Every structure is written in C-alpha cells, then in structure tokens.
C-alpha cells in the first residue's frame, strides 16, 4: 500500500492501487446507473451503497497517509504534469473522510425526509443529482490538477442548484434561492477559472505541484498576482466568506432538509479546502502579497463574520435560518485559523472544519426532524417540542453544545486551539490578543443563540392540542451517531488532532513539487 | 469493597447516583440514594489518605481529579455533610428535577474542590452553575425563571472568565496545576475575578441576594452551602496571602449589614448575612497565615452548618405559613417551639456565643488579623460581628418567633425537617463545646485555645451590649435612638450608632444602587434594540438581497483584494 505512488507504466495494478480514482469514480458511476435503472426503490440503496464504499475508501486512504507523504495517481497512465494527477496527502484525505462520512450518515436520514418533502416521481433523479454533487465535492478535494478542480466544482455546483430547487414542492421560495445561488455560484466559478487562466498564461501548466514549482520565483509577476485575487474571491464565494455569504441563508433555509444537512457539512468545507490548497500549496504565504491578503482582508472579515452573523443568528426566529447564519459565523472561525498563519491556527481550522461539519449536520438533521413532525422550523411552531420529541431534542442539545464549544464536546478543541494560535502570534504582535478575545466573545454570542433554541424547545409550553410523535428511527440513528461522535471526539481528542496536525504540517510544508514526486515515492 | 470505592472519583459517585435516581420510583428508594450518596462519599474521603488518586489524560493535559490534601479534605467533608443534611431536610420532596440537581450540584462542588488542575476545575465550576440553577427554576414561577436566568448568566460568565484566565495562564507558564498564584498578570487577574464572582465580592454580589431567596424552600438550603464556599476554597488554594483580599473581605463583611437591617424578607436577610460571613473568610484568606487559613476553613465548616440551620428554620416556617416576610410573621414560638429553639441555636452560633460553633471559628480569624497587626481591619470585623448579631442573631428569631403576635398558629415543622435541624443544631453545639474535633481536621496544626478568659469576656461584652442596645431601641420603639447614644460607653459607640447610620447609609446606598441599576438596564436595553434594528430578522443584514447587490459585493471584494495585492 505504501508505495503504490509512482508506478512505472505497463505494470499491472491491483484494485487497491486505484483507490484515489475509485474514491471519485464510485459515486460518479452510481449517478447514471440510478438514472438508467430508473427504479424509485433501488435509487436510495444504490446511493447508500456507493456512499459507504466511498467512506471505506477514504478511510483506507486516510490511514495510509496519516504519517505524512502522499499518494499520486495518474489518470489513464499519462504521467503528470501532462496527464491529470490525483494526489492524496493527509490534508485532502482528512477532508475526503469528512465528506464521505457525512455522505454515508446523511443518506439514512434523507430516506424519510426526502419521501416527505419531494415528489415521489422525482426521487430517482434526486438521488442521481445527490450522487453527482457528492462526486463533485470528492473530486474537487482529491484531484491534484487545478483545472480538474474547476470541472468538479462545476459538477457539484450544478447539481447543488438542482437539489436546492427541489425544496420548491414545499416552499416556492426555493426557486429564487436556487436561482440566486446559481448566479452567485457561477460568478464565483468564473472568477476561479479566470484566475486559473492567468496562472496558465504565466506558467503553461495546470498541475498544482507543477504550478507551485513554476511560480515560486514569479512573485513579482502581475498576472500571477491577479490570478491570486480572482482565485481567492471566487473560492471565497463558495466558502461563504463574509460579505460573499448572501446566497447561503436562503439556499440553506429553503432547500429540502436532507440537502441542507449534506451541503452545510460538506460544500463549504470542500471549497475551504481548495482555498487552503491554493493559498498554501500552489501559492505560498512566503509571497508577501499572499500574506498581506490574508492579514489585511481575511483576518478582519473573518472576525466581522464571527460577530455580525452570530448577532443575526441570535435574533432569528427560524431554526434553519438561525443555523445558516451560524454557519457563516463558523466559517469565520475557519478563515481566522487560516489567516493567523501558523501551525496551530491551521490545525484549528481543519479541526473546526470537521467538528463544525458534524455539529451542523446534526443540528440541521434535528431541524429536518422537527420539520417532518411539525411542518415548520419557525420557533413559534416548534415551541415546547423538546418535551414531545425528547430523543431528537437531546441530540440537538449535544449539537448545540458542540457548536458553542462547551468543553467535553468536539467544538471545544478547535476553539481552544484557535485561541492558542492567536496567543502564539501575540508575542510579536499584541493585536492578536484582541483576536483571541474576539473568539471568546463571539462564542458568547453562540451561547445566546443556542440558548434561545433550548429555551424554545424545552422551556416554552407546548401546544398540547396537536399530537406530535418522536422522529422515525431512520432519522434518530444518524442523529445519535453524530451526537455520539461530537462527545467522543470531545474526550478522545488525540485521534482527530493528530490527523489535523499532520494535515496542517503538510499545508505549511508548501508544495512537494513535481521533481520531488519522482524522487520521493509514496509515503515515508 | 473499600478498595473499589477508592478507585472512583468522588464527584462521579454523585453523578452516577443522580443518574440512577432517574430510574427509581419516587419514595423510599430515592431518599435512600439521596441520603446514602453523601455518606458513602464521606466514608471514601475519610478512609482515603492524602495524595493524588485519579489522573486522566485530556487533550494532551494530565487532569488531576482527586487531589486530597488537608485543605481540600475539610471542604469536601463539609460538602458531603451539607448534602446529607439538605437532602434530609428535603425528604418530603417528590420533585425529580430538584433531587437530581441537588446531587449533581453537590457532586460538582466536591469535584471542583478535589481538582488538582484548572481545567478539571473549570468543568466542575460550570457544573455547579448548571446544576444549581434548576433549584431556582424548580419553583416554576415567572419570577424565578428570570432570576434563574440572571443567576445562570453570571455563573457561566464566571466560568468563561476562568477558562480565559486559565488559557492565558497556561500560555504564560505552561502549567495548568491549580496552586498558589500571584496577582500580576492578566491571566491571574482573570482567574481572581472569576473566583470573586462566585464568592460574591462587593459589586459582584448581586446574584446572591437575587437568587437564593428566589429558590425553593429546600433549594435555598442546598444553594447556601456550596457555590460561595467553593469560591472561598478556590481563593484559599490559589490566592492565599493576597493582601487586597483583606480589604475586599472587610468591605464584604461590612456593607451587607446595612442592607440586612432594613430587609423585610427573612431569607434575603440571611442571604445578606451569608455575604457578610464570606467577608470574614475572605479576610482570612487574605491574611494567609496558617492561623488565618485555619480560621477560614473552620469558619466555612461551621458557617455551612449554622447558615443551613437558619435557612432550614426559616424554610420550615415558610413551609408551614407560606411566607418569609418579617412583617407577616411573629409569635410563632407558641406552635413551633422546636423550630424556634433550633433557630435560636443557629442564631447563637452565627453570633458566636461561647459554647456555639461560631465562637471557636470566628475567633481564629480575628486572632489572625490581630496577630498580623491590622488594627483597623480588626475593628471593622468586630463591628461586623455586632452587625451579624443584630440582623441574623436577633432579627431572624425575634421577628419570626417572638415580637408582635401575627395571629398565625401553624403546625410544628414535619418530622424530617425537625430531624435535619436537630442534627445540624447538635453539630453546632458539639463543635462549640468540643472544638478539638474540628481543629484536628483543619489544614494546619492548631495550637489555639478558644476558651480563654479574655476571649469569653470580650465576646460576651460585645454580645451583651449589642443585645442591650437592641432591647433599648426596641423598647423605645419609634424614638430616634441617637439620643441614647450619649449615654452608652465609648467603646460601643459604633454599635450604638448602627440604627441611625444604618438607616441613613442604607437609604443612600440603596438609592445609588437603584440608579446605577436603572442606568445599566437602560443602556443594555437600548443596545439590544439597536442591535435588533441592525441585525434582527427584518434588518438589511438578515434580509435576502437581490442578485445584483450580491454581485456588487463580489466586485468590491475583488477590487479590495487586487488593491491589497498590488499596493501593499
């Protein structure tokens, strides 16, 4: 397994050597198969099976790169930089695992939720789109080719627009939400591809490692510099970086519950990974302009997002919308971790990606379960429901606590690390003390909006005239799997921390370069 | 059996009992668990020697869950005792929420006292906050809901400040061990303030008088024991010998007297006097000598008992009559004689009459103060002692059981309450007569004789004159008491002046206080409405924007990014 990396042509490869490709290929093939079979009954099982296979693959990949190093896979046997290369290292294995875990956990939840919210005749197409979206997200993360990132980005985006629009059978506003997202997403993707075009113009290559090699001494090249601006703004939009977040609340609120769960935990995270990859591996913070952009633009915007979006969330009267705004604030933490520019900060950012993905998926699942039973996610309609659906509400409580970052839940670790990271920087710039303080203060805002939710769920008098039963088992199990992991990772901290730290070290190590890849095969 | 018991951190004993409670039917089985847990815990602590017993690894930190030394042991023991007595007093209760939270609360407080590092301390610190608020909410009134909310916010805030302080402290020193610290860095100041919030330092004290009287009858008894004493323990552990504590403690001992004098709700009077008693302990911590720390620890021990006794007796009255307002009570000794006697014992203890527990503990602190030559502090504390006598020692029993006859003829308190009060009262007297048993478990060796001629004479002089003053003032009824002041001996002028100065000062203080309060509340409200305007669901920030506006935001960010990239 260790040395599958660079294998001479014409050597027979075993199935296991193809894992980097299979990771993406399995869901990619599942999509047309679902459509071709066309059976509503088989759609869900096919989607679920391929998600589980993806999960297994991603775990194997993650385990094989956890000590550092990377696996490269050249598509069709064409050696990079000419051919398309898939390159798996600790960083993207970590994100791949997050995405495929969420994919596998959300699908059982989606089974009931989709039946409730989407017209029956659309089910097989819905799952086909879902698989495409899943493919796109995995592909964006797995590939080592910049243009390939764009292709997969578009695959995931286009299918996402369709998925969001499916909410229209329940609320017509899903259509405008999807439309807005389409416009914004397309502009973002266009910016990204313009940026790539500029890079291609300056270097003549699209392989990320090769790009990194060739621009390393071109820091003064204006084309290379403008490319950076376009790429970060384009990706920033996909990440929902403040103030490019305006599409997100609507899309998350009006999309079908299952779609929201899936997107909230994966889409912004995959985009964030691409952003990190470009900032640290293709470009590098050693470029003064990259460093300045992070410190002058990302850092303040991240802090503004942490406060502004949290305050909006605190005043919200709709559960799903509140969660959407809280996502924007949480993305702020992840961007802050990047902008702090040290190992601890990056580890915190990656860890937060993971923890927030879990907590947010859990909370959106809770919202979905409430929508299923009460028909709405407005606070007024879900008042006192906690007493009637204690198992669902219990899971929501754990998710909420992890969102705040209460010790004993996964969310605590990443925030703690983030504070540590800011304090590490404060020794040479005392302004970072304020940054650390702002993390603490904005967490207090999270306490407020989560507390409001608890108050609505538990302390308000329920409307006894409407009988409400507990959510179905297919929803409860995924919720409690996530709730369990939130607590488990809150106590058993080393596992995730080690992975995230290795991933951060990889990023900070810069690109491993094309020439290295020939010499340093595989993992060691 | 005992070996197995020693393996389990004491706090977990309580938590698991609280959990088991959920599955037991109401009645004997539950009461058995409620009373049994503190006993088992006390046996565990008693048989376990000194040392560190339970480490777990958390996020790369080694957490010490069981640091048993002479300082933590006495606090844990009294916490167990208080939990036992409080639960006995609440025998009649059939409320799952209160039962579970009482155990979880006691467990958190004990866990905090046993924590050898500040991260575990933080966990338990927040645990006490969360568990205890249910004792307030359990009253299930609108008022208690908001009171509980205010209480919770302040307590959680104290925890947040603590963890911030700990993070900075760890950053400064690389250590999370909970040991003696020095004020000086931001980190230690934050930790200090966090302790101070729980300890109800002056100006940080409002939550105490706000929340304790608002809890349920049995809840108040439980609440009075843990949170503040835990804070005293934390101060003694972390900041012993910090001079500023002496002055803070003195102010704490003095100012509640004024409020307590004019307060009508007897449970609130007790809450103020709780504040005042904490002042003595804080002074002891501030002095920081072995004698003073012994004074603080023993005072906390005795104080938990007699304060619980007073809260119990007032609670029993409230249980029977439904009120704790002085103006609506009086003359109850006719039908509740036993409760009256127990209340008198509690009053005598808190007033430090010889042969009662307060005497042998308070004198430790006072001697320590005198020994270090803080003359003015000593005088202030003596004055505060007289104040204690006046509001807790006399006012509570007098207006409840004697004074004018309210015409009420309630039944005697129920048996389990009498039993709880009886045991507590017995302990108060026992400790007072045989101080050596308490002295033997103090943090440091005690070489102190409370029953010397001068101690007894001095204390009796103080007490009797204060009693006399009270009697005279009461007899004179409405007459302004200043007139009599001339006739009194000079050395008790400060006590004689109480009624007039008290009324005046408290009036001014209350007015100022209210003004500040109104000011803060209005600032908060206007801030809230401004935020609601700018960030609420109808504000531009939460509205959905047309696609064009979104595109402008992209364009401007791109412009900004290009600008930074090219010109920085």
- State the average pLDDT over residues A141-158: 92
Cβ–Cβ below 8 Å for B561 and A229: yes
What Cα–Cα distance (Å) separates residue A302 from each residue in A299, A328, A332, B222, B308? 5, 9, 4, 45, 51
* Residue in chain B nearest A496 by alpha carbon: B59
B224-282 residue pLDDT tens:
889 899 999 999 999 988 889 999 999 888 888 877 777 778 888 888 888 889 999 99
Q: How far apart are CA B462 and CA B457, in angstroms?
A: 9
B141 at interface of A, judged by CB pairs closer than 8 A: no
A250 at interface of B, judged by CB pairs closer than 8 A: yes
Nearest to A280 by CA among A267, A265, A291: A291
Q: Which of A15-19, A437-441, B238-242, B297-301 has the lowest mean pLDDT?
A: A15-19
- What are the DSSP calls for A219-236, one per residue? TT-HHHHHHHHHHHHHHH
Q: What angle do CA A95, A114, A454 make, to 5 degrees?
A: 70
Question: What's the confidence (pLDDT) of residue A11?
Answer: 53
Closest-CA distance, B42 to chain A, in angstroms, reads 27
B478 at interface of A, judged by CB pairs closer than 8 A: no
- Would you call the peptide bond into B497 cis, given omega within 30 degrees of 0 as the criterion? no
Q: Is the distance from CB of A413 to CB of A490 less than 8 angstroms?
A: yes
A447 at interface of B, judged by CB pairs closer than 8 A: yes
What Cα–Cα distance (Å) separates residue B550 from each residue in A174, A303, A410, B544? 18, 20, 34, 10
The secondary structure of A311-364, three-state, reads HHHHHCCEHHHHHHHHHHHHHHHHHHHHHHCCHHHHHHHHHHHHHHHHHHHHHH
What Cα–Cα distance (Å) separates residue B374 from each residue in A95, A340, B283? 64, 51, 11
Token pair for B498: 């109480």
- State the average pLDDT over residues B486-512: 56
Q: A420 contacts in B (CB within 8 Å)?
A: 167, 171
* Residue in chain B nearest A238 by alpha carbon: B554
Residue B55 DSSP symbol: E
- State the average pLDDT over residues A391-399: 90
B54-74 residue pLDDT tens:
777 776 778 888 888 888 999
Q: How far apart are CA A436 and CA A454, in angstroms?
A: 27
B154 three-class SS: helix
**Among B145, B535, B550, whose Cβ lies nearest the Cβ of A315?**
B535
Question: What's the confidence (pLDDT) of residue A83?
Answer: 81
- What are the DSSP calls for A245-285, one per residue? -THHHHHHHHS-HHHHHHHHHHHHHHHHHHHHIIIIIIS-T
**Phi first, then psi: what are they for A145, rounded to 5°?**
-115, 125
Question: What's the confidence (pLDDT) of residue A519?
Answer: 33
ipTM of the complex: 0.83
A299 at interface of B, judged by CB pairs closer than 8 A: no
Handedness of CA B185, B190, B196, B201 (dihedral sign): positive
Which pLDDT band holds residue B402 (cuts at 50, 70, 90)?
A: confident
Question: What's the confidence (pLDDT) of residue A5?
Answer: 46
B240 three-class SS: coil
Q: How far apart are CA B129 and CA B105, in angstroms?
A: 8
Question: What's the confidence (pLDDT) of residue A336?
Answer: 93
The better pLDDT of the pair A355, B510 is held by A355
- State the average pLDDT over residues B47-57: 80
Question: What's the confidence (pLDDT) of residue A515?
Answer: 44
Q: How far apart are CA B322 and CA B411, in angstroms?
A: 12
Does residue B494 carry a pLDDT above 80? no
Q: What angle do CA B371, B373, B377 make, to 5 degrees?
A: 105
Helix H or strand E segment including B205: none
A479-512 residue pLDDT tens:
999 999 998 888 888 888 888 888 888 888 766 5
Q: A328 contacts in B (CB within 8 Å)?
A: none
Q: B119, B194, B542, B567: best mutation site toward chain A, by most A Cβ within 10 Å?
A: B542
Q: Angle of helix A90-117 relative to helix A473-491, nearest 10 degrees?
A: 150
A111-130 residue pLDDT tens:
888 888 888 888 888 999 99
B141 three-class SS: coil
Q: Is the distance from CB of A205 to CB of A271 less than 8 angstroms?
A: no
Q: Phi/psi class of residue A366: alpha, beta or left (left: φ > 0; alpha: ψ in -120 to 50)?
A: alpha
Cβ–Cβ below 8 Å for A180 and B58: no
Q: How far apart are CA A447 and CA A443, in angstroms?
A: 6
- State the average pLDDT over residues A199-209: 88
The better pLDDT of the pair B419, A70 is held by B419
**Phi first, then psi: what are they for A143, rounded to 5°?**
-75, 155
Q: Is the distance from CB of A293 to CB of A354 less than 8 angstroms?
A: no
Handedness of CA B464, B470, B471, B476 (dihedral sign): positive
- State the average pLDDT over residues A67-79: 78
Question: What's the confidence (pLDDT) of residue B498?
Answer: 53
Q: Is the distance from CB of B422 to CB of B349 less than 8 angstroms?
A: no
Helix H or strand E segment including B435: helix B435-440
* Residue in chain B nearest A413 by alpha carbon: B59
Q: Angle of helix B290-321 relative to helix B266-287, nearest 10 degrees?
A: 170
Which pLDDT band holds residue B477 (cuts at 50, 70, 90)?
A: low
- According to DSSP H, which parts of A375-493 are helical? 385-388, 390-404, 410-426, 431-454, 473-491
Does residue A72 carry a pLDDT above 90? no
- State the average pLDDT over residues B441-465: 83
Q: Which of A373-382, B225-234, B535-544 has the lowest mean pLDDT?
A: B535-544
Which pLDDT band holds residue A517 (cuts at 50, 70, 90)?
A: very low
A416 at interface of B, judged by CB pairs closer than 8 A: yes
Cβ–Cβ below 8 Å for A314 and B59: no
Q: A493 contacts in B (CB within 8 Å)?
A: 58-60
Q: For residue A87, list its beta bridge partners.
A: A72
Cβ neighbours of A184 (radius 10 Å) = 25
Token pair for A361: 């998926």
- State the average pLDDT over residues A506-521: 56
**Among B60, B164, B537, whose Cβ lies nearest the Cβ of A315?**
B537
Mean pLDDT of chain B: 84
Question: What's the confidence (pLDDT) of residue B485?
Answer: 30
Question: What's the confidence (pLDDT) of residue B383?
Answer: 84
B98-145 residue pLDDT tens:
899 999 999 999 999 999 889 889 999 999 998 889 888 888 887 788
Q: How far apart are CA B368 and CA B240, in angstroms?
A: 13
Q: How far apart are CA B189 and CA B162, in angstroms?
A: 10
Which pLDDT band holds residue B529 (cuts at 50, 70, 90)?
A: confident
Cβ neighbours of B97 (radius 10 Å) = 14
Q: Phi/psi class of residue B403: alpha, beta or left (left: φ > 0; alpha: ψ in -120 to 50)?
A: left
B24-44 residue pLDDT tens:
888 888 888 889 999 999 998
Mean pLDDT of chain A: 86
Residue B542 burial (CB < 10 Å; 0-12/13-18/19+)?
A: buried
**Most confident of the following: A282-286, B116-120, B255-259, B501-505:** B116-120
Q: B167 contacts in A (CB within 8 Å)?
A: 416, 419-420, 423, 436
* Residue in chain A nearest B562 by alpha carbon: A229
A436 three-class SS: helix
Residue whose entry in the numeric block shows the structure tokens 């029953």 = B451
Q: Is the distance from CB of B411 to CB of B403 less than 8 angstroms?
A: no
Q: How far apart are CA B480 and CA B218, in angstroms?
A: 39
Strands A70-74 and A85-89: what pairing?
antiparallel
Closest-CA distance, A292 to chain B, in angstroms, reads 7
Q: How far apart are CA B343 and CA B346, in angstroms?
A: 5
Q: Which residues of A279-288 are buried (b: 16+ CB within 10 A; e: fewer)?
A: bbbbbbbebe
Cβ–Cβ below 8 Å for A317 and B568: no
What Cα–Cα distance (Å) separates residue A113 from each residue in A119, A175, A240, B32, B289? 11, 19, 26, 46, 67
* Residue in chain B nearest A495 by alpha carbon: B59
Does residue A221 carry a pLDDT above 80? yes
Residue B441 DSSP symbol: T
B562 at interface of A, judged by CB pairs closer than 8 A: yes
The better pLDDT of the pair B56, B300 is held by B300
Closest-CA distance, B545 to chain A, in angstroms, reads 7
* Residue in chain B nearest A425 by alpha carbon: B171
* Residue in chain B nearest A437 by alpha carbon: B164
Helix H or strand E segment including B67: strand B67-68
**Percent of chain B beyond pLDDT 70?**
95
Question: What's the confidence (pLDDT) of residue A190?
Answer: 93
Does residue A400 carry a pLDDT above 60? yes
Does residue A422 carry a pLDDT above 80? yes
Q: How many CB pairs under 8 A join A and B?
A: 124
Q: Is the distance from CB of B245 to CB of B286 less than 8 angstroms?
A: yes
Does residue B437 carry a pLDDT above 90? no
The count of C-alpha atoms lying within 13 angstroms of the C-alpha of B88, restricted to the half-sphere facing its C-beta, is: 22
The better pLDDT of the pair B476, B248 is held by B248
């Amino acid at each position: 397994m260790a040395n599958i990396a660079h294998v001479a042509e014409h050597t027979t490869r075993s199935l296991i050597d193809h894992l980097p490709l299979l990771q993406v290929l399995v869901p990619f093939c599942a999509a047309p198969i679902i459509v071709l079979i066309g059976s509503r009954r088989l759609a869900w099982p096919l989607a679920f099976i391929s998600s589980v296979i993806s999960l297994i693959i991603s775990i194997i990949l993650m385990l094989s790169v956890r000590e550092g190093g990377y696996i490269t896979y050249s598509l069709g046997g064409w050696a990079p930089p000419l051919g398309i290369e898939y390159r798996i290292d600790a960083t993207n294995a970590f994100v791949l695992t997050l995405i495929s875990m969420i994919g596998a956990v959300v699908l059982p939840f989606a089974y009931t939720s989709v039946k409730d919210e989407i017209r029956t005749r659309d089910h097989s197409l819905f799952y086909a789109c879902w698989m495409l979206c899943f493919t796109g997200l995995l592909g964006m993360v797995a590939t080592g080719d910049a243009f390939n990132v764009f292709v997969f980005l578009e695959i995931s985006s286009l299918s996402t627009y369709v998925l969001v629009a499916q909410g229209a059978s329940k609320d017509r506003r899903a259509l405008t939400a999807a439309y807005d997202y389409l416009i914004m997403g397309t502009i973002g993707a266009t910016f990204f591809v313009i940026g790539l075009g500029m890079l291609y113009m300056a270097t003549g290559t699209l392989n990320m490692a090769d790009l990194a090699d060739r621009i390393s001494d071109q820091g003064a090249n204006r084309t290379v510099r403008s490319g950076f601006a376009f790429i970060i703004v384009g990706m920033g939009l996909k990440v929902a970086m403040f103030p490019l977040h305006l599409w997100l609340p609507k899309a998350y609120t009006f999309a079908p519950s299952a779609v929201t769960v899936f997107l909230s935990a994966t889409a912004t995270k995959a985009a964030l990974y691409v952003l990190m990859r470009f900032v640290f591996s293709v470009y590098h913070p050693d470029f003064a302009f990259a460093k300045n952009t992070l410190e002058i633009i990302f850092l303040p915007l991240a802090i503004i997002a942490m406060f502004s979006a949290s305050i909006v969330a605190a005043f919200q009267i709709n559960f799903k919308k509140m969660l959407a705004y809280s996502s924007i604030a949480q993305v702020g933490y992840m961007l802050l971790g990047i902008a702090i520019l040290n190992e601890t900060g990056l580890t915190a950012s990656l860890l937060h990606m993971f923890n927030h993905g879990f907590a947010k998926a859990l909370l959106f699942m809770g919202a979905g379960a409430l929508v299923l039973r009460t028909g709405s996610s407005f606070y007024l309609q879900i008042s006192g429901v906690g007493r009637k659906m204690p198992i669902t509400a219990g899971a929501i409580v754990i998710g909420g606590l992890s969102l705040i970052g209460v010790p004993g839940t996964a969310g605590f670790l990443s925030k703690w690390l983030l504070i540590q990271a800011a304090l590490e920087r404060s020794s040479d710039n005392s302004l970072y003390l304020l940054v650390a303080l702002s993390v603490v203060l904005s967490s207090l805002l999270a306490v407020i909006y989560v507390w409001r939710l608890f108050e609505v769920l538990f302390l308000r008098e329920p409307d006894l005239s409407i009988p409400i039963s507990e959510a179905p088992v297919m929803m409860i199990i995924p919720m409690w799997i996530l709730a369990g992991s939130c607590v488990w990772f809150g106590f058993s901290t080393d596992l995730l921390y080690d992975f995230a730290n290795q991933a951060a070290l990889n990023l900070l190590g810069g690109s491993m370069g094309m020439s290295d890849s020939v010499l340093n095969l595989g993992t060691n | 059996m005992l070996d197995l018991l020693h393996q389990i951190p004491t706090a977990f004993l309580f938590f698991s009992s609280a959990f088991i409670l959920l599955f037991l039917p109401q009645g004997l089985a539950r009461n058995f668990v409620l009373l049994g847990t503190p006993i088992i815990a006390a046996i565990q602590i008693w048989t376990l020697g000194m040392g560190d017993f339970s480490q777990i690894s958390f996020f790369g930190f080694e957490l010490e869950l069981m640091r048993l030394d002479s300082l933590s042991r006495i606090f844990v023991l009294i916490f167990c005792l208080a939990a036992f007595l409080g639960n006995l007093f609440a025998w009649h209760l059939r409320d799952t929420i209160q039962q579970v939270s009482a155990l979880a609360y006691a467990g958190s407080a004990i866990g905090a006292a046993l924590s050898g590092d500040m991260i575990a301390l933080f966990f338990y610190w927040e645990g006490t906050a969360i568990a205890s608020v249910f004792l307030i909410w359990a009253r299930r009134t609108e008022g208690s809901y908001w009171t509980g909310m205010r209480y919770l916010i302040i307590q959680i805030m104290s925890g947040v400040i603590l963890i911030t302080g700990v993070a900075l402290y760890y950053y400064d020193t690389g250590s999370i061990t909970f040991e003696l610290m020095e004020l000086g860095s931001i980190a230690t100041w934050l930790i200090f303030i966090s302790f101070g919030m729980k300890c109800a330092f002056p100006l940080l004290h409002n939550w105490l008088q706000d929340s304790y009287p608002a809890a349920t009858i049995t809840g108040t008894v439980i609440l009075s024991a843990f949170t503040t004493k835990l804070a005293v323990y934390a101060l003694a552990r972390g900041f012993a010998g910090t001079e500023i504590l002496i002055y803070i403690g003195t102010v704490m001992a003095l100012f509640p007297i004024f409020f307590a004098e004019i307060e009508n709700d007897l449970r609130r009077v007790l809450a103020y006097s709780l504040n005042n008693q904490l002042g003595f302990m804080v002074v002891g911590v501030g002095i920081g000598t072995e004698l003073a720390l012994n004074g603080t620890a023993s005072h906390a021990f005795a104080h938990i008992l007699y304060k619980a006794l007073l809260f119990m007796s007032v609670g029993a009255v409230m249980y029977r009559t439904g009120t704790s307002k002085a103006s609506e009570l009086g003359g109850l000794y006719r039908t509740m004689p036993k409760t009256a006697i127990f209340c008198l014992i509690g009053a005598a203890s808190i007033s430090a009459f010889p042969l009662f527990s307060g005497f042998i503990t308070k004198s430790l602190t006072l001697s320590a103060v005198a020994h270090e030559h803080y003359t003015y502090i000593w005088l202030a504390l003596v004055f505060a002692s007289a104040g204690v006598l006046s509001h807790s020692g006399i006012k509570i029993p007098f207006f409840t059981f004697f004074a004018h006859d309210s015409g009420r003829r309630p039944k005697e308190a129920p048996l389990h309450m009498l039993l709880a009060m009886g045991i507590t009262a017995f302990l108060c007297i026992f400790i007072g007569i045989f101080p050596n048993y308490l002295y033997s478990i103090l943090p440091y060796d005690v070489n102190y004789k409370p029953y010397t001629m001068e101690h007894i004479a001095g204390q009796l002089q103080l007490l009797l004159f204060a009693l006399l003053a009270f009697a005279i003032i009461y007899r004179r009824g409405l007459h302004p008491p200043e007139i009599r002041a001339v006739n009194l001996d000079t050395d008790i002028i400060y006590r004689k002046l109480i009624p007039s100065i008290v009324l005046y000062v408290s009036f001014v203080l209350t007015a100022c206080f209210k003004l500040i309060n109104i000011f803060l509340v209005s600032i908060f409200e206007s801030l809230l409405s401004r935020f609601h305007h700018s960030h609420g669901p109808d504000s531009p920030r939460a509205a959905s924007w047309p696609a064009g506006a979104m595109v402008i935001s992209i364009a401007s960010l791109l412009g900004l990014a290009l600008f930074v990239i090219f010109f920085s």
